[in-house]
Structure 1
Amino acid sequence: MPDPTPPRPRAAATDTLTPGLSLDRIGQALASFYDDLIAEGVPEHLAGLVRQVRQPDPDPIVAPRKPATTAPKSGRLALVVEDDAATRALAEMLLEETELGVLGCDSAESALTLMREHSGEVALVFADVRLAGAMDGLQLAAAIALLWPTVRVVVTSGRRAERPATLSPQAVFIPKPWRPFDLLVEAERATTETQPIVL
């Protein structure tokens, strides 16, 4: 008797984690950081992740991932706020290797909604200055400092080499291109250090 269950469709070679972002592009982005990962002594399991993405399964079935979210191992979350899909996906993949669960979005407005929904769980916010909505990353950092002062905030920018004068005093600034090691260090600090409240 034939099996009544229809076969699952196979994923095409252009499957993506986020719309318009192919696994090949993610692999290329990670590959460009590979030497830095090894030079900085990043754990072998993270280097293994790079190798996996560089050589993906030829016939993967990828589930839609919008918004990005993974289960937290420590009960705490990292929120990546970045309007560039490839950069956001890279940051999310790196943070998934930490003790933090991961949420991702492209605007400060979406980030504030997620902060309200997950109040008390978010330990780290990693945001670009330039975002998709009306607010920028500096305004987002100021709002988080006011509403959730114990959350570690890291702001990045490709247009600025130095810390912006208007950035909240408790926020950390990392210019682009940021190194994976720097992001992993900030994730570690978010889970092990108490964030000082700056008045």
Structure 2
Amino acid sequence: MRKHQTSAPVPLTDTLTPGIPLDQIGRTLASFYDDLVSEGVPEHLAVLVRRVRQTEADAPARPESDAATPAAAYPRVALVVEDDPEIRALAETLLEETELDVIGCDSAEAALSVLQARGGEVALVFADIQLAGRMDGLQLARAVATLWPRARLVVTSGHGLPRPELPQEAVFIAKPWRPRDVLVEAERAAAEPAPPIL
């Protein structure tokens, strides 16, 4: 047990130091509460300490390994959106060499379902312009740029594409793309900090 020693009693008042959160004061007091009880604690501080202890007791226990896990340990996803199964498989295999988890989709609608479920984890969207389904890759790119702006957006096509049609945030890589170009974009996406877990 930690001993609290003072040479002279410090007068306690009803005012607290501005700018210090009450829960921080409560945790500090709780750390040497037993010593304070024997010296006498004003009732309002004792109530605060009891409240902090009760809150900590009610909070769900987190394993210590979770508390020490950095945000980067949470899954980060690369979303490959390509309707050609062979090209999609090639891109998925390539991106599996990075630290990103890989999910493949053949349509923009399937990609939007993944984004709605795991949007905060998606670090990279690698999408072709021509896709199965009603939406094309440009519509998907605009949706991603608006709704999931933290995801790195890479658009690819075998046809020339005027720059104004792409969202400003998007990177364009012409087909046939070089693996190195895709990996560079994946590394940039992985290097971005993960969004806070709320």
Question: Normalising to structure 2: TM-score of the pair?
Answer: 0.59
What 5-or-longer segments of structure 1 have no aligned partner?
Answer: 1-71
Query: Aligned-pair distance for 1:137?
Result: 0.6
Equivalent residue for 2:170?
A: 171
Change (3 A) 1:90 1:192: same
For 2:158 and 2:109, the matched residues in 1 are separated by 21
Equivalent residue for 1:117?
A: 117
Greater percentage in helix: 2
Equivalent residue for 2:58?
A: none
Structure 1 counterpart SS, 2:155? strand
Query: Aligned-pair distance for 1:119?
Result: 2.1
Contact 1:130 1:136 in 2 (8 A): yes
For 1:74 and 1:191, the matched residues in 2 are separated by 12
Change (3 A) 1:185 1:135: same
Q: Which has the larger radius of gyration?
A: 2
For 1:186 and 1:194, the matched residues in 2 are separated by 15
Query: Aligned-pair distance for 1:142?
Result: 0.3
Query: Aligned-pair distance for 1:144?
Result: 0.5
Query: Aligned-pair distance for 1:164?
Result: 3.6
Equivalent residue for 2:108?
A: 108
Q: Deviations over 1:141-185 (max 9, x none)?
A: 00011101111010000011x554211000100000100000100
The one-letter amino acid of 2:79's match is L
Matches within 5 A, 1:20-169: 75-160=75-160, 162-169=161-168
Structure 1 counterpart SS, 2:119? coil
The one-letter amino acid of 2:182's match is L
1:190 equivalent in alignment to 2:161: no
For 1:84 and 1:157, the matched residues in 2 are separated by 12
Contact 1:73 1:101 in 2 (8 A): no
The one-letter amino acid of 1:82's match is E
Equivalent residue for 1:17?
A: none
For 2:73 and 2:103, the matched residues in 1 are separated by 13
The one-letter amino acid of 2:95's match is L
Contact 1:129 1:138 in 2 (8 A): yes
C-alpha RMSD of the superposition = 1.9
Q: How many residues align?
A: 123
Change (3 A) 1:167 1:188: same
Query: Aligned-pair distance for 1:75?
Result: 1.4
Structure 1 counterpart SS, 2:87? helix
Equivalent residue for 1:3?
A: none
